Structure 1
Amino acid sequence: MTFQLTAKENRVAPDVVIGSFLVNNIPTLVLFDLWATQSFVSLALRKMFDDVARELDYPLEVEIFEDRPVRGSRVHRGCTLELFREHYLIDLVHIPLRESKVIVGMDWLIPNGAMID
């Protein structure tokens, strides 16, 4: 199970960073959540992606803060997240997001050799 907070709730959380970055060359509000185990994309934003989404090997149950759990069963693999002119590959699971367009969990760190300091 994975958890998601809204952008407003995360503004006061010390372990979350919010900013505007390019995801697949689309300016996007991105929430970096150190407690999220996966990365997610809003249903509205995923419609703007050129590539075809794939089925996950197993669906994820995501608990949206103070809301009902939702299931994510489709993923865009190999999306590009641009951070300060560096490009990182990231897989984004589709879920309904209220405010954020992308939530970046910790699943992208190791494959990209990235570290949060």
Structure 2
Amino acid sequence: GPYEGYSYPVCTSCGRRHPGECRRAAGTCFKCGQTGHLQKDCKKNTAATTSGQADKKPGASGRVFAITEDHATKTSGIITGTLFIYGHVVCVLFDTGATHSVISSVFASCVTTTPTLLDHVLCISTPMKDSVRITHVYRDLLLQFDDKIRAINALPLDMFEFDIFLGMDWLTEHHAMIDCRSYRVIFGDIHA
């Protein structure tokens, strides 16, 4: 049936809403999810520059508006909820203001799929920074909606309160309609 949105309780450690254990309280790196270092010192920060793509000029652009739960609650056209990817529970944001679908860099490190190199550098505008350069994409990740499985191509992005943003690229491809009054996402081909 249609997907119902909801939000998580406020975390007593960090004051934000998120699923599972608080990454701040656990002392894990926000980039890779491991302990013993901070995001600014993470070895994964150098991965994008070793790809050979760092010197290329951006070939396309996009935008992602709601990076945090606070931004999401202040932005119209957004519904949050929980889905599954490969058995992992993921906190998902359906965002009509985002041109592309994205996956949290921390959550992406839990997925067994290896990202592939984009043909061009993609610059994504976010409310947290002017723009972020993206060089890789996670292709054909399998999202589970009740008994339906749907694929997603997601760009890795540093974000902490959501695991996945489903942007207009994905929503359009899957004929989704967002009913803001009842906080539901309805798929045009749900009975296919």
Report the TM-score when normalising by structure 2: 0.55
Aligned to 2:110, the other structure's residue is in SS state coil
Higher relative contact order (CA 8 A, sep 6+): 1
Distance in 2 between residues matched to 1:73 and 1:109, nearest whole Å: 22
Q: Does the alignment pair 1:41 with 2:103?
A: yes
Report the TM-score when normalising by structure 1: 0.87
- Structure 1 stretches lacking a partner, 5+ long: none
Using the TM superposition, name which of 102-111 and 41-50 deviates more.
102-111
Higher strand share: 1
- Structure 2 stretches lacking a partner, 5+ long: 1-61, 179-192
Distance in 1 between residues matched to 2:113 and 2:128, nearest whole Å: 32
Distance in 1 between residues matched to 2:65 and 2:98, nearest whole Å: 7
Q: Does the alignment pair 1:22 with 2:100?
A: no
Aligned to 1:99, the other structure's residue is in SS state coil
The 3 A distance-change label for structure 1 pair 46 and 52 is same
- In terms of Rg, which structure is larger? 2
Distance in 1 between residues matched to 2:105 and 2:146, nearest whole Å: 26
- Paired amino acid for 1:67: K
Would you say the 8 A contact 2:143–2:151 is kept in 1?
A: yes
- Paired amino acid for 1:17: I
Q: Does the alignment pair 1:4 with 2:65?
A: yes
Q: Does the alignment pair 1:85 with 2:151?
A: no
